[in-house]
Structures are given as C-alpha cells and as structure tokens.
Structure 1
Amino acid sequence: MGIHALLSLTNLAANQLLVIDRNGNVTVINSGEPVPEGAIILDPNGSSLVPGEQAKPSAQLADAQGNTQPITNDIEQILTALEQGADPTALGEDLAPAAGGVQGSALTTAASIDRDGTEIIAATQFDTAGFEALGLSRTQSLSLLNLLQAPTAPIIPVVPEEPDSPIVISTITGDSAAEGSNNTFSVSLSGTTSAETTIVLTLASGTATKDVDFNGTSVIVVINGVSQTVPVNQDGTFQVTVPTNTNSFSVQVSTADDGIYEGNETFTLSGKSAAQETAIIGTATIVDDNAPVINDATVN
C-alpha cells in the first residue's frame, strides 16, 4: 500500500494535515500551525505540477528551523520494496533512501549499511532500516508502518479540542422590595462553569445610601440553593467563588425600614469575571411604603 492509499484512510477536513512526531504520536493540525523538529507531515491534498490535474498526497520532513524536505517518493519506494519483500536499503545509490536522491532528502548524514544476508523478517514485523536512513526515529517509523497493518480500518486521528470560551457575567437583574426586607440581584453567567470561577462584585449607592438605607457590610449569596454570608469591603467590593456546573446565582441585600417617607430609592450591584473588561450593572429599588401622615388639618 502506498502513501496515496494511506492518506485515503484518514478523514481530514480541508487545510488539515496528519503529523507523526519523533515519538510516534499521530495528530491532526491545521495548515500553517508549527510542527516539532523531525516530524513527518502528511498532506492529503499536496499539490500538482500539471495544470488541471488533481492534487496528490505528499509527505515532508520538518527540520529545527521549520523548513521541510519532500520525502514522498522515498516513502513510496520503501513501501514498495517492503511489499515485494525486497531490501529497502538497496534501492540503488541515487534513489536509495539513505542517499535521499541525487539532491539528498535526508536531514542527517547518510550512513553506510552493511548487510550479511542473514536477517529474517517475521511476518508480523516491519524492517524500519529504510525509514531510519531518511532521518526518522524508530518509533516514528513504526507508527508510519503500523498505519498500513489494518488497511480496512479507517484512521481516527487526534483532533485538537477547541478551548472553552471563558465564563463571563451576562446579566445582573435587581428587583423591587419594600424597605425593611431584602432586595435580590439575579446574576446570570454566559455558560455553565467547568471549573471554579471567581466573580468580583461591587455594591454601590444610588439614591439609596449604603449603610443607611441598605446593608453595605455583608450580603447573602445563594448558589444552587445554598446560602452563605459574604463580607463586603469598605469600597463595596466582594468576591464570589462560583463552583463547577453552575450558570447563575443570586445576591440578597437587606434594607432598613427607617419609618420616614422618602419615596422609592435605588442602589446598584455591578460585577465582572477575570475575562471581562467592562462590568455588568444591575439596579434594585427600595419601595418606600410609608405614606406621609397628616396629623392636623385646619380649614379656614
């Protein structure tokens, strides 16, 4: 089986490449991404020098500077020799993989290999000498050859996972509550947390005054039905540690019933996560239900 059939086993998207590093690990990368030194790069959509001709798979070997050497023909010749039971290190001086062709495709100094003719290759093993002469490691050579052992089974390469989007605050919504009771701010996140996430919140006065109309020293945070009292700093800031598998929580703020009619008053809760530059703000309203009382009325 040649490299063309090998790459037909993979299910790569456009602009994706199959990479075998020197440790024999097979991964998928996007075109243009850096590759480690000595890695084999297999491109199912290589290129064609003939206009109108369909692009053919190609193989390249990367050096420490990120430059690549074409080794497609070398690999094809070694695979053909192995399939025919021939010696892959005896393909001729100019075309032998150890020589790398007339121009030389090996990244390492070509070695002289002496053979005594007594080597016996077991049916379940592969001779990697030809590939190692190209500059490939033994584990790398075995990974390449192992891809040919089960031609009917498609290769499932390891596709790098897209990083999770950072969790941010989507909305903060305050309610209206009678003075003397608790105002509640509902905080919604952009998604469900996959790890503990720290949220910084700030309690601030509006027409309602902190520590006069509402409690500015502590709040009650409710997460997944569990309540905890959290102290508030003098500047109004406090932190909430959101556990995993959580997408919302609430903050309760107690208000004072002063018995004085002042009309409805407001205050705010703002906050952001480490991934946010601009804070989200919510407003709560303290409803003053103390209607003014007229003690004495004189009618002239």
Structure 2
Amino acid sequence: MGIHALLSLTNLAANQLLVIDRNGNVTVINSGEPVPEGAIILDPNGSSLVPGEQAKPSAQLADAQGNTQPITNDIEQILTALEQGADPTALGEDLAPAAGGVQGSALTTAASIDRDGTEIIAATQFDTAGFEALGLSRTQSLSLLNLLQAPSAPIIPVVPEEPDYPIVISTITGDSAAEGSNNTFSVSLSGTTSAETTIVLTLASGTATKDVDFNGTSVIVVINGVSQTVPVNQDGTFQVTVPTNTNSFSVQVSTADDGIYEGNETFTLSGKSAAQETAIIGTATIVDDNAPVIDDATVNNVSESIA
C-alpha cells in the first residue's frame, strides 16, 4: 500500500494534515498549525512539479526551526518492503530502508550511511536543506506499520478538540424605570451554554435602599421567555441556574412608590460564574416622578413710609 492509499483511509478534510510525532502519536492538524520537531507530516494533497498534473500525496519531516524536508520516497520504500513480505526492521544492511535506498532521495550524491539499529530509516543528507541529517524514530515508523495492519478498516486519527472556554458573564446592564414599576437588568454571557451553568448574583443598595425603595427579598428571572421567582438571601445573593443553549437572561426587580420626592436613586446587580474572579456590575435607576408642585404665590408690594 502506498502513501496515497494510506491517506485515503484517514478521511481527512480539506486543509487537514496527518501528523506522527517522534513518540508515534497520530493526530490531525489544520494546515498552517505548528508541528513538533521531528514530526512526520502526511499531506493527502501535496504538490506536483508538472503543470496540469494532479497533486500527489507527500510526506515531510519537520526540523527544530519548523522547516520541512520531503521524505515521500523513504516512506514508500518501507511500504514496498511490506508488500513484498519483507520486515523493514530485519533487512540486511544493503536493503535497509535508508531514506530512498543506495542513492537516497537527494538531488545530489548522498553521504555514506551508518546504521546503528535505533532508526528504521537511517540518516541521509539533503542539499536543499544544507545537508542536514534526516532520521525517523522507531516509534514513528512503527506507527506507520500499525496503520497498515488493518487496511480494510478506515483509520480514524485523533482530531484535536476545540478549546473549551468556560462561560462567564460579559455584561450586566440596568435600565431606568419609574418608581412603582420594575427595573430590569439584562445579563449577557460570553457564549452559549453547552451544559447547565450556575451564576451567583448579588442585589445591593446604592442611593436607593433595599427593602425600602426596591424589593430585596425576591426577584423575577426570565430565561428564554420563561419567568420564575427566585428568593434573595439577606446578604443580597441569589443563584440562577442557566440551562443549555442559553446566552443571556434578565432579572426584574420591583420598586416601591413611596409618594415622597427623593430624586432619582440607583441600586446595583453584580454577578459572576465559577470561572470568574471579579464580579460584573450593572446599575439601575429608579426615576422619582413625585416632584413637588409649587403653587403660584401673590407677592404684595408693601410701601414703607420713611419718617
């Protein structure tokens, strides 16, 4: 089986590469992502030097600087040996897979090769890379051999998972409402929840006093159009359990119309998730519409006699 057949089993998506590191771990990365030193990069859509010719799969070896060297012929030699029934780890010195055989895969004459038995593919030189030594570890080569042991079944490499960023509160925005009505705090999350998420919120006095100017014992939480009354602790804290597929909710707080003009007053709602160290704070304003009415007064002019 050649490299083309090998890569066809992995069902790689566009711009994806198959990577085998020096420890033999097989992973899938997107084109352009960094690869560790010494990793083999298998590209199902390599390149072609002939105009109009379909691109062929290729194999490359990454060095410490992130540069790559082509080793397609070297790997093909291992696969050919397998198809012929030979064991690449037990071949004689003349037949040992030495980066392309006697002449190697370099464009110029390669240096002599000393086989020490610790590498399946021994070292050679490439003039295009400053005659740097090329070597694949035993575990990398064994990973290639293992990929060929069950050719009838598709190979499913390990696809790196997307980073799982915790959901946090992004903003809390309070509104302005006339006293006697409800103030509403809009709470926005950093993303859509994939599981139930607990948010701890705190209702606190500002210039408005809790339990005097606004209700400090319960609030109305609205999530996805569904309202629920949530009790508030004496210290102003309460919890909201946010269901999956939710990225925002609101908290409504009732206010008292005391009939006394005190001017506009404010109070706050703060909160954070388990992944946050600092709470996010929003401020609501109670608009006092009980401005005093000043009656018209008649001022009488009094003439004072000067003696």
Matched-pair contact (CA < 8 Å) for 2:200–2:238: yes
Question: Aligned with 2:170: secondary structure?
Answer: strand
CA displacement at 1:158 relative to structure 2: 1.9
Question: Aligned with 1:193: secondary structure?
Answer: coil
Partner of 1:287: 287
Q: 1:112 to 1:123 in 2, by over 3 A?
A: closer
Question: Aligned with 1:235: secondary structure?
Answer: coil
Matched-pair contact (CA < 8 Å) for 2:29–2:160: yes
RMSD: 8.9
Q: Which moved more, 1:42-51 or 1:238-247?
A: 238-247
Question: Aligned with 2:121: secondary structure?
Answer: coil
Q: Which moved more, 1:112-121 or 1:28-37?
A: 112-121
Q: 1:291 to 1:156 in 2, by over 3 A?
A: same
Give me the TM-score of the superposition, normalised by structure 2: 0.59
Matched-pair contact (CA < 8 Å) for 1:174–1:184: yes
Aligned residues: 300
Partner of 1:268: 268
Q: 1:175 to 1:119 in 2, by over 3 A?
A: closer
Q: 1:34 to 1:176 in 2, by over 3 A?
A: closer
Matched-pair contact (CA < 8 Å) for 2:200–2:239: yes
Matched-pair contact (CA < 8 Å) for 2:259–2:290: yes
Q: 1:220 to 1:173 in 2, by over 3 A?
A: same
Q: 1:143 to 1:107 in 2, by over 3 A?
A: farther
Within 2, Cα distance between the matches of 1:122 and 1:103? 13
Partner of 2:132: 132
Give ranges in structure 2 of 5+ residues lacking alignment: 299-305
Within 2, Cα distance between the matches of 1:119 and 1:219? 69
CA displacement at 1:13 relative to structure 2: 2.0
Within 1, Cα distance between the matches of 2:125 and 2:147? 13
Q: Which moved more, 1:230-239 or 1:31-40?
A: 230-239
Q: 1:42 to 1:123 in 2, by over 3 A?
A: closer
Give ranges in structure 1 of 5+ residues lacking alignment: none
Within 2, Cα distance between the matches of 1:152 and 1:164? 35
CA displacement at 1:202 relative to structure 2: 9.9
CA displacement at 1:168 relative to structure 2: 5.7
CA displacement at 1:188 relative to structure 2: 3.7
Matched-pair contact (CA < 8 Å) for 1:173–1:187: yes
Partner of 1:15: 15
Partner of 1:87: 87
Question: Aligned with 1:76: secondary structure?
Answer: helix
Matched-pair contact (CA < 8 Å) for 1:110–1:133: no
Within 2, Cα distance between the matches of 1:266 and 1:58? 67
Within 1, Cα distance between the matches of 2:118 and 2:173? 82
Question: Aligned with 2:172: secondary structure?
Answer: strand
Q: Which moved more, 1:276-285 or 1:171-180?
A: 276-285
CA displacement at 1:175 relative to structure 2: 6.7
Question: Aligned with 1:239: secondary structure?
Answer: strand
CA displacement at 1:166 relative to structure 2: 6.3
Matched-pair contact (CA < 8 Å) for 2:99–2:123: no
Q: 1:294 to 1:40 in 2, by over 3 A?
A: closer
List per-residue Cα deviations over 1:26-84 (Å, max 9, x = no partner): 11112222111221111111111111111111111222222222221122122112211
Q: 1:107 to 1:251 in 2, by over 3 A?
A: farther
Question: Aligned with 1:45: secondary structure?
Answer: coil
Q: Which moved more, 1:236-245 or 1:163-172?
A: 236-245
Q: 1:108 to 1:139 in 2, by over 3 A?
A: farther
Matched-pair contact (CA < 8 Å) for 1:106–1:133: no
Question: Aligned with 1:59: secondary structure?
Answer: strand
CA displacement at 1:135 relative to structure 2: 2.9
Q: Which moved more, 1:182-191 or 1:200-209?
A: 200-209
Matched-pair contact (CA < 8 Å) for 2:119–2:137: no
CA displacement at 1:276 relative to structure 2: 12
Q: Which moved more, 1:280-289 or 1:114-123?
A: 114-123
List per-residue Cα deviations over 1:89-139 (Å, max 9, x = no partner): 798989853365567569999999999999999999999999999733333
Partner of 1:72: 72
Within 1, Cα distance between the matches of 2:117 and 2:163? 53
Q: 1:95 to 1:65 in 2, by over 3 A?
A: farther
Q: 1:103 to 1:127 in 2, by over 3 A?
A: closer
Q: 1:32 to 1:102 in 2, by over 3 A?
A: farther
Matched-pair contact (CA < 8 Å) for 1:22–1:139: yes
List per-residue Cα deviations over 1:198-227 (Å, max 9, x = no partner): 989998999979999569999999999999
Identity within the alignment, % = 98
